[in-house]
Amino acid sequence: MARARILDAEGAAALRDARSAVQSAEDATALATLLPRPVLAMAVRYSLQVLSERAKGNTVEVRVPPFGAIQCIEGPGHTRGTPPNVVEMDAPTWVALATGDLAWEAGVGRGDIHASGQRADLRGYVPVALL
């Protein structure tokens, strides 16, 4: 069963709140006090939803555990097992990347974004939301 679509107004509001909290927090503990977990979850799921709508396909799997994962970007896909092109990061990193506060190259260079596979590259697809 497909997940219900997050409405733009609700998702954008959650993403704005998450962006503000990520910018203000010094660490994960501080983030947890600034932002309720359900708001962070909605922000991540909404921004992944936007990415999947803008970059239709199933060549790259983008994972933001524990909140969500999508397949996106046109090209050769996979149907079973571990996908060959995976991008994975934590929620604060994804929020920063999705909102333009973190450049793809900087996140990969710092090791905050783990990308494996020839096509595991989100340049040109992020940011997904300009707030």
Among 16-20, 43-47, 80-84, 118-122, the least confident range = 80-84
Angle at 78 (CA atoms; ends 91, 88), nearest 5 degrees: 15
Is residue 17 within 8 A of residue 35, CB to CB? The reply is yes
Q: What is the CATH number of domain 8-116?
A: 3.30.1050.40
For the chain, the average pLDDT equals 93
Q: In this predicted structure, what is the pLDDT of residue 9?
A: 96
Domain ranges of the chain: 8-116
Is residue 46 within 8 A of residue 18, CB to CB? The reply is no
pTM metric for this prediction: 0.93
Is pLDDT at 121 greater than 60 in this prediction?
yes
Is pLDDT at 83 greater than 90 in this prediction?
no
Q: In this predicted structure, what is the pLDDT of residue 98?
A: 98
Q: In this predicted structure, what is the pLDDT of residue 82?
A: 72
